Structures are given as C-alpha cells and as structure tokens.
Amino acid sequence: MEQDQEFADNVFKSFNDLFFDPEIQKRKLQNQIEEPFYLIAAQAVLFSNGKQPIIRINSEVKAKVKIKKGIDITDKDYWASRNEVEEIIFDDSENLDAGHVTMIHFKDGYQLKFDFIYNKYSCNKYLSTAEEFLKSAQFAFENNLLSAFVDNSFSSMELLAKAKMLLETNEQMKGKTNHKAILSEFNKRYKNDLNKLEVDYKVALNKLSKLRSYARYLENSFTVSEEEKLFILDSMKDLHQKIKENIS
C-alpha cells in the first residue's frame, strides 16, 4: 500500500510540475488569479499533432463526476469523498479525440484521472459501423452469398484499418479519406512488420480491395475459397477485438 501511495504521489507531482503549477504561476504574474488562491480542479487537454495543450483551472475544467450508487447527494452542501467517486468523466465536446489529465479536489484530497489514448471517440464510431458490416459478412458467409461477403468484408476491414491507424495517431487518417489513401497508409504501416498476425490484417485488406470491384461492379467473374473466406473473417474479428480492447 505504501508503494501504491508513493507511486500515486509521484504521478500527481509530475503532472502538477509539468502542467498546472507553471500555468498557475503564469496567471499570477499576469494578475489573472486573485489571492488567496485554492486549486479545486485542473485539467490539461492533450493533442496528438503537437498542438499546445489547453490548461484549465478551477471553473474552466470540463468534467463530470459520477458518484457511486447508494450515496445520498441531496444535501445542498454535499461534496464527495474520494471513495464515493465512481468515475471522473472528460466532458469536452469540442475535443473528444484528445487525451487529458484531469484533477479534482474532493473532501479528503485530490483525485486524478488521465487518458492518453487519442482519437478514441472517432475510433468508437468506426468500430461500431465496422461491426455492422462484419455481422453482415458473417451472414453472407453462412449463406454462401459471395458478392455480399466480399463487399461487406471490405467495408468492415477498411473501417477497422482506419480506426487502428487513428489509434496509432496517424495524422493522414484525420478527416475524410478515400480507399486509396487508407490502403496506402495501411500498407506502409505493415511494410516491415514481422508479426504474422499483424501482417495478416494487411493481406486481408489488400485481397478484399482487389476483389471488391468484381463483387460490387461485376467487372469480372471471381471465386474465393473457403480457406480464404475463413482467413478474411478471422482477420476482421481479431482486429475488431484488438481495437475494442485498446479503447475500452
């Protein structure tokens, strides 16, 4: 327990030294803070593209505090203790894909919440839609609907590829992207990768990219073996699960 507390104290001090104390001192020099000053809450909003962090102090902090079930919060003077807090939730609608460090002072001391996973909001959207296409591909596979299988598999795999690269803060994936851009960046991502399972994602997307025009636009006749279909399905499911675990 002492080691845990020491670690927590060191983390708290590091974030304070890096983000909050310099901002407080700067504001004091600029007469933007009145004395006596008491730090109730602080927040650093962090960006993956090198943009300067946004530092917020006290009422500027954008966060929600979720209190555990069964706690009476009806008293007008209620202020939670740390053990009554279930979660501190980042609540900045303009920067949902940013990372953050949020610190709030409760009745018995400060509690810290930080999240350095960037693009989580966008990844969740892509992941959710990719899952719909994945389920459709599974149905098509089970009912031997080859064109539907290829088309839905491509849509799922492409969305998963974009989500994975966003999670890895690939700035080329921000905003609108076309098929060519996603495929190009995904191939670059795995160009020198020696992990077979990871490389399988690239192989599956490239295979589907070639087959999609045949399946959707009937440009040519084509076949896909059962082994290839299972390989594609397994690759999609595995990538979907890995991204889900990384952003949960």
Could you report the per-residue pLDDT of 175-193, keeping only the tens digit for each? 889 999 999 999 998 887 7
| Token pair recorded at residue 58 | 């006290």
Name the CATH architecture for the domain at 120-247: Up-down Bundle (1.20)
Mean pLDDT of the chain: 92
pLDDT in tens, 93-113: 999 999 999 999 999 889 999
| Token pair recorded at residue 202 | 């690239």
pLDDT in tens, 59-89: 999 999 999 999 999 988 899 999 999 999 9
% of the chain exceeding 70 in pLDDT: 98
Q: How far is it, in rounded angstroms, from Cα 225 to Cα 130?
A: 23
Give the HSE-up count for residue 114: Cα atoms under 13 Å, Cβ half-sphere: 13
Q: How far is it, in rounded angstroms, from Cα 89 to Cα 229?
A: 41
Q: Where are the domains of the chain?
A: 2-115, 120-247
pTM of the model: 0.86
Mean pLDDT, residues 165-184 taken together: 92
Mean pLDDT, residues 42-47 taken together: 97
| Token pair recorded at residue 118 | 């960037």
What pLDDT shows up at residue 227? 97
Residue for token digits 């060519």?
A: 180
* Helix, strand, or coil (residue 226): helix
Is a pLDDT exceeding 70 seen at residue 1? Answer: no
For residue 165, the Cα-to-chain-centroid distance in whole angstroms is 11
